[in-house]
Structure 1
Amino acid sequence: MTLYPEAESVARARRRFRKFLEPYDLSCSLDDCVLMISELVTNAILYGEAEEAWRVRVEWWQVGASLRVDVHNPGFPANVRMRQPAADEAHGRGLRLVNELASSWSAEPSPLGGTMVSFSMDGAWKV
């Protein structure tokens, strides 16, 4: 899915992802996956940057029994890091949530240019 870098795109990503995966009998929590999509798309919108118009790209697929999700933006991979927000800070916990909920996650240069942040849910599908 390709999204504009605007706040409404986060809800759009959640709806499309949920609609696509609801028919499957997943072994993992769909709500957890939707939450992680929200966090990664939000980060992509907040931290992606380019001189020309750009989009956020979200891809998901089955790899064996696992679900893999990639979120691409034109930001710099070196800028992706888990923060340690103060208790009174409203933001900065997205990657910590992904780290806790996903089987694994990574941030690396995107083959499309920019950054790709991914997560996997092992055993999401019964094989």
Structure 2
Amino acid sequence: MTYTIDRHTGEDAPRLGAMILQPEPGSVPRARRWFRTFIAPYDPACSVDDCVLMISELVTNAIRYGTSERPWQVRVEWFREGTALRVEVHNPGFPANVRLRHPDADDAHGRGLLLVDSLADSWHSGPSHFGGTVVSFVVADTWPA
């Protein structure tokens, strides 16, 4: 099992799963299916449907806004941080380009982070340790203490 350092407690946070996706539209439904399959054995108390929706939005954004002169992939990882679930989506885009938008009602795009902001207990964007950008969200009280 892989561990990272939990930003909030400074303790090890076990990685529960990861997937590598191609930057193509078919990767979005694949991410939904794989997350549902791989999170099920951990019996989360949170809404898996909400997590799948947030992952869909972040993978879509990663594909749409990722950029590299070389072939690249989208990486999705999820971790247990105490009682919380943290999901990260990495791409080779620029961290400064991630921003919460407030689209007009007739705008076709721009609601991804707004959905994440409304469903997650918190979210973050910044430089990825893989290079590029990471956008993550946290769902509290996913598991008992």
CA distance in 2, matches of 1:23, 1:111: 28
Aligned length: 127
CA displacement, residues 37-72 of structure 1 (integer Å, 9 cap, x when unaligned): 000000000000000000000000111110010100
How far 1:78 moved relative to its partner? 0.2
Identity of aligned residues (%): 65
CA distance in 1, matches of 2:22, 2:45: 31
Amino acid at match of 2:58: L
CA distance in 1, matches of 2:84, 2:102: 29
* 1:87 equivalent in structure 2: 105
* 1:22 equivalent in structure 2: 40
Q: Which aligned pairs between 1:1-127 and structure 2 lie closer than 5 A?
A: 1-127=19-145
How far 1:22 moved relative to its partner? 2.2
CA displacement, residues 93-115 of structure 1 (integer Å, 9 cap, x when unaligned): 00000001001000000001000
Where relative contact order (Cα < 8 A, 6+ residues apart) is larger, the structure is 1
TM-score of the pair, normalised by structure 2: 0.85
RMSD: 0.8
CA displacement, residues 79-106 of structure 1 (integer Å, 9 cap, x when unaligned): 0001121101121100000001001000
Residues 103, 122 of structure 1: 8 Å contact kept:
yes
- List 4+ stretches of structure 1 deviating above 2 A: 22-25
Q: Structure 1: which 5+ residue stretches go unaligned?
A: none
CA distance in 1, matches of 2:139, 2:93: 25
CA distance in 1, matches of 2:41, 2:128: 30
Structure with the bigger percentage of strand: 2
